[in-house]
Homo-oligomer: A and B are copies of this chain.
Amino acid sequence: MDEFGFIAKYLSALAGPEGLELKDDVAVWKAPKGFDTVMSMDTLVEGVHFPDGKFDAQTAEKLIRVNISDLIAKGADPAGYFLSLTLSEKIDEAALNDFCRGLAQAQSRYGIKLWGGDTTRAKDRNVLTVTLIGTVPVGKTVLRSGAQVGDLVCVTGCIGDSYLGLKTVLNQMDGVDSQSVYWENIYHLPQPPFNLRHAIRKYASAALDISDGLLADAAHITDVSGVGMDIYLTTIPLSTVSTKWVLGEPNHQKARLELATGGDDYQVLMSVPERKISALKKRATKVGIALTVIGKITDGLGVLCQDSQGKEIIVDKSGYTHF
């Protein structure tokens, strides 16, 4: 099967009208009146962002979800995407079929279609890139730069499960049991808070998705907003199984810090004016997404991580650097 055969057999079924049935070199699109176009691009590399050999429906879903996560944190509605598949020689048609099944599932979940892209071959490893396009009412994109002194800092979902999932995948965790399966699933299939995106747009003063580690990403907000942030380590929300893991570790604080710096959470960290917090919480409850206040914006500099007594915790490495 050559490139055109692959497109015709698998990708055409995923295409939206903007993609001209994937029979041209471009997509043509017009943002609805009154809307900005918001775009992000993320790449997953085999052996770095997903395990060697795992070219399947879950990895396709993850590829879409890590991009969806970027747009959600900006309060945007996703519309379509471009896909670059650089595939190793090992990929066979069964794997392509499964991968495209994952794309179709993700498209249906997030209401997006394929608009175009490129397929190429490499000898060694799969490299997968998505450019995701979405819309936000003009001027309403939630940036990293809007945090104001006095705002509360909130996070969606639970933090650290994906980190423990990666450790499980890398065989760095003792034993394999139901917890490991839970963590692994979160690592392979991040759960960005899609249904909260409009509330984020309405209530957050600044926001981003957590990919590098909560504390590292928090520092991106303080850097760009020119503010400080206090974060209370023990208030960072953990799943039941991750709490159990923390309590089983010799040093609880060190274990919590590991989770707060592990990355790959794809939850949203945001600053919210205090007067808006109850409305946001109500909305989060309604759509079934956990929302936890974990700190506040200060007139200081950078991120100050504190223990439950308000004592500063020294952080050696606040997150993962991809490069």
B122 adjacent to A129 (CB under 8 Å):
no
B37 adjacent to A120 (CB under 8 Å):
no
A38 adjacent to B28 (CB under 8 Å):
yes
A31: contacting residue among B37, B115, B145, CB under 8 A: B37
B118 adjacent to A24 (CB under 8 Å):
no
A322 adjacent to B120 (CB under 8 Å):
yes
A120 adjacent to B24 (CB under 8 Å):
no
Q: Which residues from chain B contact A25 at a C-beta distance below 8 Å? A: 40, 70, 73-74, 144, 208-209
B82 adjacent to A131 (CB under 8 Å):
yes
Report how far A44 CA is from B118 CA in the complex, Å: 10
- Complex interface residues of chain A between 83 and 130 (CB less than 8 A to chain B): 83-84, 86-87, 115-125, 127, 129
Q: Which residues from chain B contact A74 at a C-beta distance below 8 Å? A: 24-26
A30 adjacent to B37 (CB under 8 Å):
yes
Q: Check if A174 is an interface residue, CB within 8 A of chain B.
A: no
A30-41 contact mask (Cβ, 8 Å, vs B): 1 or 0: 110000111111
Q: Which residues from chain B contact A315 at a C-beta distance below 8 Å? A: none
A70: contacting residue among B26, B122, B133, CB under 8 A: B26
B2 adjacent to A136 (CB under 8 Å):
no
Stretch at the interface among A45-53, A233-241, A244-252, A278-286: A45-53
A1-17 contact mask (Cβ, 8 Å, vs B): 1 or 0: 11110100000000000
Q: Distance in Å from the Cβ of A304 to the closest Cβ of chain B?
A: 20
Q: A26-B38, A43-B120, A122-B125 are in contact. Are A3 and B208 (CB under 8 A)?
A: no
A123 adjacent to B208 (CB under 8 Å):
no
Q: Check if A143 is an interface residue, CB within 8 A of chain B.
A: yes
Q: Distance in Å from the Cβ of A154 to the closest Cβ of chain B?
A: 18
Report how far A120 CA is from B212 CA in the complex, Å: 13
Q: Check if A290 is an interface residue, CB within 8 A of chain B.
A: no
Q: Which residues from chain B contact A40 at a C-beta distance below 8 Å? A: 25-27, 116
Report how far A124 CA is from B121 CA in the complex, Å: 14
Q: Check if A313 is an interface residue, CB within 8 A of chain B.
A: no
Chain B residue nearest to A69 in the complex (CB)? B25
Q: Check if A138 is an interface residue, CB within 8 A of chain B.
A: yes
Q: A118-B43, A321-B4 are in contact. Are A28 and B136 (CB under 8 A)?
A: yes
By Cβ-Cβ distance, the 5 closest A-B pairs, closest first, are A3-B323, A2-B321, A131-B131, A124-B124, A41-B82
New contact pairs (20) apart from A31-B37, A39-B115, A41-B118, CB-CB < 8 Å: A3-B323, A6-B323, A23-B144, A23-B220, A23-B224, A24-B143, A24-B208, A27-B38, A28-B136, A30-B31, A37-B37, A41-B83, A43-B84, A43-B86, A44-B120, A49-B120, A120-B322, A121-B322, A123-B124, A124-B124
Please list the residues of chain A having a beta carbon within 8 angstroms of any beta carbon in chain B: 1-4, 6, 20, 23-31, 36-45, 47-49, 70-71, 73-74, 76, 82-84, 86-87, 115-125, 127, 129, 131, 133, 136, 138, 141, 143-145, 208-209, 220, 223-224, 321-323
